Amino acid sequence: MHHVQKVIRPAMPPSRILFPFEGGLAGGSHMSALMLVEALDRARHDPLILLHRAEGTLLDDLRRRDLPWIAAPAAIAPLGKAALLLKAPARARWLRENRIDIVHSNEGLMHVAWGTAARLAGVPQLWHHRASPDARALRVVAPWTARELASVSHFSLPEGHRLARLGRAHVVRSPFALGPALADARRAAPALRQQLGLAENCTVVGFFGHYAARKRPILFLQALAEARRRTDRPLFGLMFGLPYDPGSAEEISAAIERLGLGGMVRQMGFQRPIEGWMAACDINLVTAVEEPFGRTLVESMLLGTSLIAANSGGNPEAIRHGETGLLVPPDDPAAFADAIMSMSDPALRARLSTAACADAQGRFGIDTHVRQVTEIYDRLSAAGRPALRAQPVGPPGRGSASDPARP
């Protein structure tokens, strides 16, 4: 009798995925990337977060989430114009030495700095595009370095891109948390409004985003001033964010005084967590233009905060006008004021926000995002990879004594 010997194949170790970040100021793209890192199945994927600058609100977020990270070694850390390419061979060696299987880049400089290194090292790059479709690097560098491209919206994916023609470009919506955190934020909202001393019949309008020109913070103030001229009902504006462009903070303060809004607008700075404050607002006024796919739109939908947004960029991909929010012509303060006046009706706000919440829950959950991204990872890993793993260079940081950001 012949015995058939069963061949037992060794289990493949989890694929090591590098998430490089410049460091400093954190935005919506960082929140999305960190949510993905948290949700990955560690039996299949081993994420490694690398910071070129261990500072700022991104570092704060990593500590708050208790996510390990490493600081970029001095030999590969510089990000000046010349260093983007000159340091590519050193970064490629680092990728090989640390047995990185996939480079998942999420921001401008990282796409180029680590994409060129990945190409030299023979490591596939997933270029996660979260910016304008006109970005030069997307058109010039990505076709050469990236194996696959993920775009947060159809708007941000340029027509005719080489990777799209090859079937290697995909729209992958940003992920959003569903569950107890949303209920907690809604419960916290009344107390936050009381903390500001706001009247119950006051319509609170929020601005959420850094004070960058594309976000149009001055337009937000102009719309509020125009709405105030049209009604006796109390309006109050809350601005959440930090200066992004030089002089933007002074420009905002000057505009508040010039428009006579000193008693009805408060700058709240950078707040974490932001969900309670967002739920405390009646309206999220999204004045930004050519926004690829703003997180605050979907967060507002999930929290029951009504939306008024510029009919620009990826906004129409999130909002159905008159059903889940209101879309208005961009850069038109009068049109935004008209929409604010319409949203002063609590019944309309309730109808739109209820529909928006149901729509967002069905389209933007974290599970859908993780499934789409891991399908891309599986394709990138299909050609084979080393079976052994080296340890990352340097100790991981968790805000402890081993934290490379601490003295």
DSSP type of residue 391: P
The reported pLDDT for the residue numbered 362 is 83
3-class SS of residue 203: strand
Q: Report CA 230 to chain centroid distance, whole Å.
A: 35
The reported pLDDT for the residue numbered 375 is 96
Alpha-carbon distance of 325 to 336, in angstroms, equals 13
The reported pLDDT for the residue numbered 17 is 98
Alpha-carbon distance of 120 to 105, in angstroms, equals 16
Cα first-last separation, the chain = 70
Q: Please identify every stretch of the chain with a pLDDT value under 70, giving residue numbers as ranges.
A: 1-11, 180, 244-246, 383-407
Name the pTM for this structure: 0.81
* Residue 406: other Cβ atoms inside 10 A: 10
Task: Summarize the chain as % helix, strand, coil (round to 5).
Answer: 40, 15, 40
The reported pLDDT for the residue numbered 399 is 43
Q: Report CA 82 to chain centroid distance, whole Å.
A: 28
Alpha-carbon distance of 185 to 234, in angstroms, equals 24
The reported pLDDT for the residue numbered 407 is 28
3-class SS of residue 38: helix
Greatest C-alpha distance within the chain:
96
DSSP type of residue 177: -
Q: Which strands, in side-by-side order, build the sheet including 70-71?
A: 70-71, 45-51, 15-21, 102-105, 125-129, 148-151, 169-171
**Cβ atoms of 307 and 327 closer than 8 Å:** no
DSSP string, 241-304: --B-STTHHHHHHHHHHHTT-TTTEEEEE--SS-HHHHHH-SEEEE--SS-SS-HHHHHHHHHT
3-class SS of residue 109: helix
Q: What is the dihedral of CA 112, 118, 124, 127, to 10 degrees?
A: -10
Q: Tell me the pLDDT tens digit for each residue of 123-158.
A: 999 999 998 898 999 999 999 999 999 999 999 988
Tokens of 103: 């480079």
340-369 burial by CB neighbour count: b if 16+ within 10 A, else e? bbebbeeeebeebbebbbebbeeebbbeeb
Tokens of 188: 């916290």
